[in-house]
Amino acid sequence: MGHAVLSGRGRKRLLSGHPWIYADDVTAVEAEAGALVAVRAPDESHLGWALFSSKSRIALRLVTRAEEEPQRAFWRLRAQRAVAHRRALGLLAPRDACRLLSGDADGFPGLVLDRYADALVLQSGCQGSDAFRDLWLECVLEALDVPVTSILDRSDSSTRTHEELEQRVEWLRGERSEPLEVQEAARHDVPALSYEVSLTEGHKTGHYLDQRENRARAARFARGARVLDAFSYDGLFAVRAALAGAKDVLCIDQSQEALERALRNAERNGVAGKLRIEKKNAMHDLRERAARGERYELVIVDPPAFARSRREVEGALRGYHELNRRAIALLEPEGVLVSASCSHNVGRDIFLNAIADAALEEGRAARVFDYTGAGPDHPVLANLPESEYLKCAFVRV
């Protein structure tokens, strides 16, 4: 069994609630890369158990503050709790999809695990989650009461380089090359919807599961509306809007492949007649449309992360400002802007400021009436602000 000793500052940080300890705050360590280690204070008192990374700036990721070393039963209980949470949310219908494990927030540092119908896709981001991958998967499979015929390890994120880990895409069960169909079950007043996912080619683990609730929220303003879905990816904001009675919906994305999937998704849901696609650079295209006098009642802008590090925040804010200005210029008076940011370095307040300033420059008042994040299957650990990344503002202008 390995152990790591913290500096006084490291101990303080851990006791303040943050689950990550940086390498600078570890004064001694005896452990294999990726191992579970006993964490000790400078006076050797026990602080908990953590996963050790030998290469990363984040040397320790806390697993538990308990005395006892986590064994299989510990992980099984964690997996059961994570699955029970999704079950309580009504997300485990037979062909539905959701995030099953959301890294530190579910107590599995470094790992995300998504379910698409009968397939699981995981992404491991650190040495510890690589080392524990198979055990954690077994525990989740024990906790799940839905059949799983395929499992894909899509640990192809560039962030793995911080840990000097290779990128890999590996089928662990039931390889499949064809896209699969997800059927989002009807819930409350949100009708059922189906869509296609390519596990190997799609973004992230195949799809943007985090926007599910926000799509339904946006669709409340779609009845009779002309809708623009910019950065649409596979068009699910647009399909939801069309299902909710939009007059017509336009998807703009730079990826032809994603747009064609959006068309197929519209067909699947019987709204192909309402949905158009255009392959464009949305930043330029929105400005040109406004100049041509195009107007919409609902505009959705959900761009990729503009800031991937703290250094990029200033430039990102200029980007959000400009993008939202162009989106607002396209809106009829009293139109609704749905504006998202997935840059986790851009906090809520400064994102909202960028929208407020953009509206001001267009001579409009931005009235924010909803301000959300990712869906409830993507919990955020309150002590780990880094786990909150998605912001979505609903604004009348």
Ligand X SMILES: C[S@@+](CC[C@H](N)C(=O)[O-])C[C@H]1O[C@@H](n2cnc3c(N)ncnc32)[C@H](O)[C@@H]1O
> Binding string, 297-326, against ligand X, x = CB under 6 A?
-----xxx----------------------
The correct pick among 96, 104, 196, 253 for binding ligand X (CB under 6 A) is 253
Smallest gap from Cβ 234 to ligand X, in A, equals 6
Least CB distance to ligand X at residue 300 (A):
7
Per CB under 6 A, the list member of 100, 180, 218, 236 interacting with ligand X is 236
With CB under 6 A as the contact rule, the residue among 64, 157, 198, 255 that binds ligand X is: 255
Q: Is 58 in the site for ligand X (CB under 6 A)?
A: no
60 vs 230 by CB, closer to ligand X: 230
Report the alpha-carbon distance of residue 63 to residue 51 in Å, rounded: 7
Coil, strand or helix: which one is 156?
A: coil
Q: Is 196 in the site for ligand X (CB under 6 A)?
A: no
Contacts of 89 (CB under 8 A, 6+ apart): 98, 376, 377
Query: Hey, what amino acid is at 17?
Result: G
SS3 track for 166-194: CCEEEEEECCCCCCEEEEECCECCECCEE
Query: Which of 172, 283, 350, 368 lies at the binding interface for ligand X (CB under 6 A)?
Result: 283
Token pair belonging to 289: 């449309």
Which CB atom, from 137 or from 392, has the smaller least distance to ligand X?
A: 392
CA–CA dist 330, 362 (Å, integer): 10
Q: What one-letter code names the amino acid at 63?
A: V
In whole angstroms, give the CA distance from residue 169 to residue 158. 13
Q: For the CB of residue 208, give the shortest distance to ligand X in the complex, in Å.
A: 3
DSSP state of 165: P
> Is residue 258 near ligand X by the rule CB under 6 A?
yes
Shortest distance (Å) from residue 213 CB to ligand X: 11
* Residue with Cβ nearer ligand X (234 or 297): 234
Q: What are phi and psi of 258, to 5 degrees?
A: -65, -40
What minimum distance in Å lies between the beta carbon of 287 and ligand X? 12
Residue closer to ligand X, measured from CB, 34 or 319:
319
Q: Is 282 in the site for ligand X (CB under 6 A)?
A: yes
81-89: long-range contacts, CB 8 A cutoff, minimum separation 24: 81/106, 81/107, 82/106, 82/107, 82/108, 82/140, 82/143, 83/140, 83/143, 83/144, 84/143, 85/377, 85/379, 86/377, 89/376, 89/377
Q: Which residue from 154, 1, 180 is spatially nearest to 95, judged by alpha carbons?
A: 180
**Which position among 126, 251, 342, 392 bears the catalytic label?**
342
**How far, CA to CA in Å, does 369 sit from each of 214, 296, 365, 394, 396?**
13, 19, 12, 6, 7
Q: Does 254 bind ligand X (CB under 6 A)?
A: yes
Tell me: does residue 136 bind ligand X (CB under 6 A).
no
| Overall residue count recorded for the chain in this entry | 397
Query: Could you tell me the smallest distance in angstroms from the CB atom of residue 304 to ligand X?
Result: 4
Rounded to 5°, the CA angle 106-110-112 comes to: 60
Cβ 103 to ligand X shortest distance, Å: 19
- Does position 108 interact with ligand X (CB under 6 A)? The reply is no
Q: Which residue has the tokens 């986790």?
A: 344
By CB under 6 A, residue 56 contacts ligand X: no
Q: Is 383 in the site for ligand X (CB under 6 A)?
A: no
Interface with ligand X, residue 141, by CB under 6 A: no
- Which helix (H) or strand (E) segment holds residue 67: the answer is none
Q: Tell me which residues in 214-233 interact with ligand X (CB under 6 A).
A: 231-233
Q: Which is nearer to ligand X, 163 or 302 (CB)?
A: 302
Note whether 149 binds ligand X by CB under 6 A.
no
Instruction: Supply 337's token pair.
Output: 């802007």
Q: Which CB sits closer to ligand X, 207 or 226?
A: 207
Of 224 and 304, nearer to ligand X (C-beta) is: 304
* Residue 126 is among the residues annotated as catalytic for this protein: no
Decide whether 163 or 234 has the Cβ nearer to ligand X: 234
80 binds ligand X (CB under 6 A): no
User: Active-site positions?
Assistant: 342
Name the residues that contact ligand X, by CB under 6 A. 208, 211, 231-234, 236-237, 252-255, 258, 281-283, 302-304, 342
